[in-house]
Structure 1
Amino acid sequence: MKFNFFHLMPYPYLPDEYDDFPASALIWPNKHFDPKLGRDLYHRYLDELEHADQVGFDGIVVNEHHQTMYGLMPSPNIIVGALSRRTSNAKILVLGNQIALRRNPIRVAEELAMLDHLSDGRLISGFVRGIGWEYFNQNVDPNQSRGRFNEAHDLIVKAWTSDEIFDWYGEHYEFRYVNIWPKPLQSPHPPIYVPGTGSADTMRFCARNHYPYSAVFAPAKVVGKWFDTYRDACEEEGYKADPEDIGFTVPVIVADTDEEAYKLGKQHVEWLFHKGLRLEIPAILNPPGYVTPKSFEGLLRSGVKYFQEITYDELLDLGYAIVGSPATVGDKIEALRQDLGFGAFSGLFSVGDMAAEDVKRSTDLFAEQVMPRFRTAAAGAAAGAAA
């Protein structure tokens, strides 16, 4: 199983008045951002990602969000540029560029090609549509979301792989000359990953293109249904999904004992789900046209609640977060792996307003005592199969 270190880069310094505010994104005023604190956070968070590379994670993961305090990465490619020369072992996953919101997909193709070289071919390129509210702050019609995503994807892949100059006249983008320099280092291009939150259209897109699918921030039982849908879509395309092409992302807090972890996790898990991910305005979260009727029906049937309605103990019981000693965390991951069938695990270790020393301790315990358990088991299974 592959292990990735995922980061949101949150801004944890919230005034008391935020407790009565309905949303962490789009409408929370940026007057509450302190540039001096922000500067320190960026350097701290880069240190955490670099440390994950040093202690043996297979990948380090960044993402893109706009106009929100729970994720200070409006441009993940800048973060990847900073990481490329300061890391050397782990893959660098961008999960991902919001290509449906970009006016110029060619610029995305160029930037990622550069980053592929700077990282010595360690780049994995994720593409996402973006969250509903981001269509407001980017002034893009959410009805065009799926069409823009598909066309931007096709254009970027052709730009990476074509050896000849070509023009492009599509429904959403027009270019007289496409002739990117440089081309990517990896051939034919960096691997493409697509994370999702239950859209059947996204799963079919991944299956059709033989792309991995990764799920984030949902109850384990719901994620299991998503993975089943993805596996079914792969079978419809004539192949069986590899477990390593199925990714599960979840906040993780590890401490020396279960009691210590539970106590430590309460504040930070609640901060993440009750404050950081707060969005109590449905029209902003899912604007008309952003989700197809069939996918929206699936979301309603899943029974997923607003994060603010779920208690700390429920978040743990439902699989929204994993908290415990190294042995307990390992047991929980193994149980989830057996139940859900994933082969790629991404842990969010800098959870909410967690202190830097607690993040480092949790990361080290996971790398030293949890990851080897699975790698030893895998090595034993491989040796048995060879025998």
Structure 2
Amino acid sequence: MKFFFMHLMPYADLDLTYSEKYDSAWVTLPNSYYDPKKGAALYNRYLDELEYADEVGFDGVCVNEHHSNAYGLMPIPGVIAGALARRTKRAKIAVLGRALPLLNNPLTVAEEYAMLDNITGGRLIAGFVRGIGAEYHSWGSNPAISHERFHEAHDLILRSWTETGPFPFEGKHYHFNYVNVWPRVYQQPHPPIWIPSQGSRETIEWASDASRRYTYLQTFSPVAALKKYMEMYKEQAERNGYTATPQQLGWSVPTYVAETDEQAYREAKPHIETMVNKFLRMRPEMLLPPGYSSVESMKGMLLAKKAVASTSGGKTIDELIKSGIFLCGSAATVRDQILHYQKEIGFGTFISLMQFGTLPHELTLKSTRTFAQHVIPALRDVGEPAAETAAA
């Protein structure tokens, strides 16, 4: 199994009384709540945490893209990835991901990723997403055409990496006389591509196509939803004529480890509850605007989102642990939880959100170190093909 350290970079200094006046930390929360001096300190603190994950033995670090919110301060994840490119030495850098439908020129992502791939000597993992519904409100983009823009942008980027330029590209949404990306990507034919999702059937069917076989990541979901969508991916792969490997299936989940179960519960409780009840607070129409998904996919994502957070708040750590949305406990407890779910579901990539909400720096580092020292080594060979295990 491969282990990645995910960071959202929340604005941890948020005045939590905001919810007395505003119903969401997304899109409509005035940016007067952001103090640049505090934000500057947070950016540098969070970069330290990502670099520390590389030092203690995580296989990779992950950054992502969100706009106009207090939940994640990475509207341009390439900036953070660029800062990490020279400061990390071993870990993969996964950008999970760029929201392709929001872009007027997807070749900027092709260029950005190619630069990162060269600087790191081939440590880049390229993530592509449609972006959650809130991003379409922030950018004034039409969610009803997000699927077709995503697919067309993806095809353009892949061709720019794998075909010799210059060549013309004429699509419905993007038109170029000269596609000729400099620099070329370091990894040939292109960096590995990962597709995060909250459970869109359309995304699963597309990612599992035999011509792609992209790694699919399930994010912020109860274990029941995780199992459902992982099975959906595997079944779709069989229909496409191949068997999905554990490495094509990834689980992203907030995780906290301490000396004992009781201590982990006590230390994590205020911060995970703040995350789901304050930072993730969002109206359903912001999350899933009309036209963003099919009715079937929308029902599934709404159920998953409802289990994580509600518009009125009030989710407890006990509910989150019970549903598997949050892993919390001693190293032995968390290790056993991951092993149990892996045997039941079959994922081979585990992405831990080690900092969440208002969790302070010292506790983040302690949990990260404990996880790296006492969880990762015991699960390293789980979910690996026999040949790889023997070679290791």
Q: TM-score, normalised by structure 1?
A: 0.96
Counting matched residue pairs gives 385
Query: Shift of residue 309 of structure 1?
Result: 5.1
Read off the aligned partner of 1:247 and give its amino acid letter: G
Q: CA RMSD in A?
A: 1.9
Aligned CA distance change for structure 1 residues 221 and 56 (closer, same or farther; 3 Å):
same
Query: Shift of residue 13 of structure 1?
Result: 1.5
- In the alignment, does 2:207 pair up with 1:212? no
Q: Partners of 1:16 and 1:97 in 2: how far apart?
A: 29
Q: Given that residues 218 and 304 in structure 1 are in contact (C-alpha distance below 8 angstroms), is that contact kept between their aligned partners in structure 2? A: no
Aligned CA distance change for structure 1 residues 36 and 94 (closer, same or farther; 3 Å):
same
Q: Partners of 1:212 and 1:146 in 2: how far apart?
A: 18
Specify the SS of the correspondent of 1:244.
helix
Q: Partners of 2:50 and 2:235 in 1: how far apart?
A: 35
Specify the SS of the correspondent of 1:155.
helix
After superposition, give the CA deviation of every residue in 1:51-93 in whole Å (9 maximum; x if it has no partner).
1011110110000000011100000111111000001101110
After superposition, give the CA deviation of every residue in 1:80-118 in whole Å (9 maximum; x if it has no partner).
110000011011101001111111101110111011001
- In the alignment, does 2:165 pair up with 1:160? no
Aligned CA distance change for structure 1 residues 16 and 65 (closer, same or farther; 3 Å):
closer
Q: Partners of 2:178 and 2:387 in 1: how far apart?
A: 49
Query: Structure 1: 5+ residue runs without aligned partners?
Result: none
Query: Structure 2: 5+ residue runs without aligned partners?
Result: none
Q: Partners of 2:135 and 2:388 in 1: how far apart?
A: 48
Read off the aligned partner of 2:294 and give its amino acid letter: T
Residue in 2 that maps onto 1:311: 316
Q: Given that residues 249 and 347 in structure 1 are in contact (C-alpha distance below 8 angstroms), is that contact kept between their aligned partners in structure 2? A: yes
Q: Partners of 1:68 and 1:320 in 2: how far apart?
A: 22
Q: Partners of 2:108 and 2:381 in 1: how far apart?
A: 42
Read off the aligned partner of 2:95 and give its amino acid letter: V
* Segment of structure 1 superposing worse, 292-301 or 124-133: 292-301
Aligned CA distance change for structure 1 residues 47 and 278 (closer, same or farther; 3 Å):
same
Residue in 1 that maps onto 2:3: 3
Residue in 1 that maps onto 2:31: 30
Aligned CA distance change for structure 1 residues 269 and 302 (closer, same or farther; 3 Å):
closer
Residue correspondence of structure 1 range 30-109 to structure 2 within 5 A: 30-109=31-110
* Segment of structure 1 superposing worse, 342-351 or 163-172: 163-172
- In the alignment, does 2:250 pair up with 1:222? no
Q: Given that residues 4 and 347 in structure 1 are in contact (C-alpha distance below 8 angstroms), is that contact kept between their aligned partners in structure 2? A: yes
Query: Shift of residue 296 of structure 1?
Result: 2.0
- In the alignment, does 2:288 pair up with 1:286? yes
Q: Given that residues 168 and 175 in structure 1 are in contact (C-alpha distance below 8 angstroms), is that contact kept between their aligned partners in structure 2? A: yes
Residue in 1 that maps onto 2:256: 253
Query: Shift of residue 303 of structure 1?
Result: 8.9
Q: Partners of 2:305 and 2:97 in 1: how far apart?
A: 27
Query: Shift of residue 382 of structure 1?
Result: 6.3
- In the alignment, does 2:198 pair up with 1:193? no
Residue in 2 that maps onto 1:296: 298
Q: Partners of 1:142 and 1:101 in 2: how far apart?
A: 9
Query: Shift of residue 302 of structure 1?
Result: 6.6
Specify the SS of the correspondent of 1:354.
coil
Q: Given that residues 10 and 72 in structure 1 are in contact (C-alpha distance below 8 angstroms), is that contact kept between their aligned partners in structure 2? A: yes
Q: TM-score, normalised by structure 2?
A: 0.94
Specify the SS of the correspondent of 1:46.
helix
Q: Given that residues 4 and 60 in structure 1 are in contact (C-alpha distance below 8 angstroms), is that contact kept between their aligned partners in structure 2? A: yes
Q: Partners of 2:16 and 2:97 in 1: how far apart?
A: 32
Q: Partners of 1:246 and 1:255 in 2: how far apart?
A: 27
Residue correspondence of structure 1 range 116-195 to structure 2 within 5 A: 116-195=117-196
Percent sequence identity is 46
Specify the SS of the correspondent of 1:103.
coil
Query: Shift of residue 304 of structure 1?
Result: 4.1
Q: Partners of 2:132 and 2:50 in 1: how far apart?
A: 24
* Segment of structure 1 superposing worse, 262-271 or 289-298: 289-298
